[in-house]
Structures are given as structure tokens and as C-alpha cells.
């Protein structure tokens, strides 16, 4: 499922008990970190048992289905002699002999403390010592301490015995809400809960500061108007402003590498790769951030094609898990909704995010042969939110000015 993934939600079974399946036939849809994925069958055989129901959340490494091949069951790629056939083919989590053996193994190994790199990093961010971690009872596979276990420990202010499952709702402040008779109540979907929890966590972790700057991009706007048709024919992709924004940001990140960082406890991780995430609105009102890896190595055509592909697959729900991971900096183009500016929340574990506002025509002071005059120009406002723990105003402001210069001095001789 990818590095750092510890669990996934079974969203839809595509097969049923007793059904014959072939190699690579889709078995189940699972959801993790806002991405839905299909899991294919590794073998040909007959589905004996679905261990988890739709909506349940297995951990990475747990068995979710049993498949019989040549009269033997395949469990996690290893064959075992089958049990007597069960009459019911409805999913039954407690009926799995594998789950029972795992629970027994976990109970026998409670003295072992198994911590994933992700949890270890989060523990450092919250200032937890090894002694603090030793107080947490791991509820994951083989007594592994999970993110839920860590959150439970922090929220309860002490040892967490694993009996209460921490959910996304625990990230919301408790308050009394008056409901009127004509009010509608709509349950948040899974993605919206994840976004909410992620945003609240970011505000708790990072010391947010936002700087603003206006840029005159009149030459860029004129260049795009002149070249968008020929660009579409050549690149088979529409020429929007977003690829230009990505290019400008990538260049500035190479100049100001201390923006392209992650905080881990008392350490700063300086990333060599420049991986730019692009906030993408979905048709259901939710948000996802696909990542263009090594954006500084792409030309404008390559950025445009990759952006178009990622955005289309984001909206169709076919992004791969690795395509929303590994970002080192995020941009959001709020100008497409005619917003002047905003104060974006940092996409953890990154240290900065840049919002591009709408492009408006306004009177602007321009230099002439006789001094300065006033002309109508195309102006955009940039808003950079950054983590003041590691990025001070001078660095943040210098980076923002660099991005603006890259846009203002765009090479209009390019075709």
C-alpha cells in the first residue's frame, strides 16, 4: 500500500464467497489517505471467505480474504491445509482462524514495543520521549504502536489502553449546537473527515505566518493569449496558468532550498527533490493534492501534460497512492474561483504553501522614459503561508519575491 500506510478501509467487495476468480481479477476496493485503489487477485481459485466487511478497517499485513487453489487455501501467499467448508459466505471477521492466531500472538507479545517510522516521527514532533512511548499499548499487527494509539495517548493525557478507537471526529472541538426543525443534518464523508483532521493537525503543529505580494504579470497574460492554441496542438494539453506557476515555484525552491524542508522533532530535513503538490478540487466538494515529482526537471509542456493527467485522474478517483505522497511544497490556485487571495493551511509535513489569487486588471504604476505613469495592468496576488518554526519573515519574503520576479520576467519569446 505504500510507505507509511498502516491501515485501509474496505469500501467495496468486487467478489463474493464461492465465486471463481482469475489472476489479476479485481477483488476489492480499498481507501487510504483519500485515494481509492483496487486490489487484484494474486492467484486463480475460488473465494472461500471474506474476512472483513465493507466499511471495516484492516491493518497492513492482515488477511482480508481466503482463496482456495487446487484444494488448498492461500493465506498471505502461503498455502495451508483448508478447514472444513463454511456454510455461510457472508463476511465474518471473527470467523477467521488467521485473525484468532494473530490476536493470540499479539497478546503474547505485549512486552514488545513496535513503532513505525511514521509514528516515531509524529512522537518526535510532539516531544515524546522513548519512556513516553513505552507507556503506549500498541493495537496494530504484532503489537505495533499505530497513529491511533499515539493520538489516543495524547488526547487522554496519559496511557491509552487501546479500548477506545480514536476517530476523525476526535479532531473536532466539542460544542453545543442548536438544531432548528428545518435544518438538514448531513454526515461528513470519509474524505471530508480526513481533510478536517489534517487541517486541524497542521494548525496545531506549525506556527503559521502568511505573507502577501502583488505581481504585474501583464507580459505573461499576453503571451498565453497568443500561444494557447498552438500549445494545445503541439502538446495536446490546454495552456493554463498553473503549469507556469509550478515552474516559477520550482525555480525559486532551487534558489531558496530552506523553504523545501520538513521539520522532524528538533531536526530540519532539507529535501533534494522538488516535488510540488497541486491542490485539486473534486466534483463532490472535497479536495486532493496530487504531486508532480521532480518538477524542476520538467519543461512547461511536461508540466502541463502531467498536471492535466493527475487532475483528470484525481476527479475520476483513479490516482495511485504514491501520486499523493512525497510532496515537499504545495500550491493552490484559488484565483480560478475569482478569489483575490487567501491564507492557506500548510500541507503537513511540508513547511510552506503558496496560494495564487485571481488575475485582475487594475491601475498600476509603470516606469516610462519620463519617469512613472499609470497604466491598466494584469495583477495577481500571491499568499505564502509558512512554518515560522523554521522559516522566518526574511526567508519567506525573499522566496515570495523570487516567485513574483519569475512571473514578472517570464520569457515571452518562448513558443
Q: What is the C-alpha separation between 43 and 164, in angstroms, rounded?
A: 37
CA distance 59 to 140: 7
Band (pLDDT 50/70/90 cuts) for residue 34 is low
Show the domain range for 129. 114-166
Q: Would residue 271 show up in a list of annotated catalytic residues for this protein? A: no
Residue of 314, 313, 257 lying closest to 289 (CA atoms) = 314
Residue 194 lies in a domain: no
Cell of 262: 520538513
From 103, 123, 152, give the residue that closes a domain.
103
Q: Is there a single domain that holds both residue 95 and residue 160?
A: no
In this predicted structure, the answer to whether residue 363 has a pLDDT above a threshold of 90 is yes
* Domain presence at residue 144: yes
**Mean local confidence (pLDDT), 357-373:** 93
Looking at the structure, tell me whether residues 157 and 55 fall in a common domain.
no
Domain identity same for 295 and 369: yes
157 and 270 in a single domain? The answer is no
Catalytic residue among 126, 387, 392, 411: 392
- Give yes or no for a contact between 89 and 49, defined as CB atoms under 8 angstroms apart: yes
Q: Is 170 a catalytic residue?
A: no
Q: Which of 126, 168, 296, 388 is catalytic?
A: 388
Task: Report the pLDDT value the prediction gives residue 158, as an integer from 0 to 100.
Answer: 45
Residue 156 lies in a domain: yes
Q: Is the pLDDT of residue 385 over 80?
A: yes
For residue 350, what pLDDT band results from cuts at 50, 70 and 90? very high
Compute the radius of gyration of the chain from its Cα atoms: 26
For the beta carbon of residue 8, count every other beta carbon within 10 angstroms. 25
Does 153 share its domain with 83?
no
- Worst-scoring range by mean pLDDT, 120-134, 288-302, 373-387, 393-407? 120-134
Could you give phi then psi for residue 86, rounded to 5 degrees?
-95, 145
Model pLDDT for residues 57-114, shown as the tens digit of each residue:
888 888 899 999 875 555 544 433 334 333 334 444 444 444 444 444 434 433 445 6
User: Please, is 196 exposed, middle or buried when counting C-beta atoms within 10 Å of its C-beta (0-12, 13-18, 19+)?
Assistant: middle
Contact 306, 340 (CB under 8 A): no
Range scoring the smallest mean pLDDT among 73-77, 320-324, 406-410: 73-77
Check residue 7 and report its DSSP letter.
Answer: B
The x, y and z cell numbers of residue 393, run together, are 519573515
**Structural contact between residues 353 and 276, judged by C-beta atoms closer than 8 angstroms:** no
Cell 509535513 -> residue: 349
Decide which of 402 and 128 is more confident: 402
Please tell me whether the overall predicted TM-score, pTM, comes out greater than 0.85 for this model.
no
Q: Contact, 19 vs 28, CB < 8 A? A: no
Amino acid at each position: 500500500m505504500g510507505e507509511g500506510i498502516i491501515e485501509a478501509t474496505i469500501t467495496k467487495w468486487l467478489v463474493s464467497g464461492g465465486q471463481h476468480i482469475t489472476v489479476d481479477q479485481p477483488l476489492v476496493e480499498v481507501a487510504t489517505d483519500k485515494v481509492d485503489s483496487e486490489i487484484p487477485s494474486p492467484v486463480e481459485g475460488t473465494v472461500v471467505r471474506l474476512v472483513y466487511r465493507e466499511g471495516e478497517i484492516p491493518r497492513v499485513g492482515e488477511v482480508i480474504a481466503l482463496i482456495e487453489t487446487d484444494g488448498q487455501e492461500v493465506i498471505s501467499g502461503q498455502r495451508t491445509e483448508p478447514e472444513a467448508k463454511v456454510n455461510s459466505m457472508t463476511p465474518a471477521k471473527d470467523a477467521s482462524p488467521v485473525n484468532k492466531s494473530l490476536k493470540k500472538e499479539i497478546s503474547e507479545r505485549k512486552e514488545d514495543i513496535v513503532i513505525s517510522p511514521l509514528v516515531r516521527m509524529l512522537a518526535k514532533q510532539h516531544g515524546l520521549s522513548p519512556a513516553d512511548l513505552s507507556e503506549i499499548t500498541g493495537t496494530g499487527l504484532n503489537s505495533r504502536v499505530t497513529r491511533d494509539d499515539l493520538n489516543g495517548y495524547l488526547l487522554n493525557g496519559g496511557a491509552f489502553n487501546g479500548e477506545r478507537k480514536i476517530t476523525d471526529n476526535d479532531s473536532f472541538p466539542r460544542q453545543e449546537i442548536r438544531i432548528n426543525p428545518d435544518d438538514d443534518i448531513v454526515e461528513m464523508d470519509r474524505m471530508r473527515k480526513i481533510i478536517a483532521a489534517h487541517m486541524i493537525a497542521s494548525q496545531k503543529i506549525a506556527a503559521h505566518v502568511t505573507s502577501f505580494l502583488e505581481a504585474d504579470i501583464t507580459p505573461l497574460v499576453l503571451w498565453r493569449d497568443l500561444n494557447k492554441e498552438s500549445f494545445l496542438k503541439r502538446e495536446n494539453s490546454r495552456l493554463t496558468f498553473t503549469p507556469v506557476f509550478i515552474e516559477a515555484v520550482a525555480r525559486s525552491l532551487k534558489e531558496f532550498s530552506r523553504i523545501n524542508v520538513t521539520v522532524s522533532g528538533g531536526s530540519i530535513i532539507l529535501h533534494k527533490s522538488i516535488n510540488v503538490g497541486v491542490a485539486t478540487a473534486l466534483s463532490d466538494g472535497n479536495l486532493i493534492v496530487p504531486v508532480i515529482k521532480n518538477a524542476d526537471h520538467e519543461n512547461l509542456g511536461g508540466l502541463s501534460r502531467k498536471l492535466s493527467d493527475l487532475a483528470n485522474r484525481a476527479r475520476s478517483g483513479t490516482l495511485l497512492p504514491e501520486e499523493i505522497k512525497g510532496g515537499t511544497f504545495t500550491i493552490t490556485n484559488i484565483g480560478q474561483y475569482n478569489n483575490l487571495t487567501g491564507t492557506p493551511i500548510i500541507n503537513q509535513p511540508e513547511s510552506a504553501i503558496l496560494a495564487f489569487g485571481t488575475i485582475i486588471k487594475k491601475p498600476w504604476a509603470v516606469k516610462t522614459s519620463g519617469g512613472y505613469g499609470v497604466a491598466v495592468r494584469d495583477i495577481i496576488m500571491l499568499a505564502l503561508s509558512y512554518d515560522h518554526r523554521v522559516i522566518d519573515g526574511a526567508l519567506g519574503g525573499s522566496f515570495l519575491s523570487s516567485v513574483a520576479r519569475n512571473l514578472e520576467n517570464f520569457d515571452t519569446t518562448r513558443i
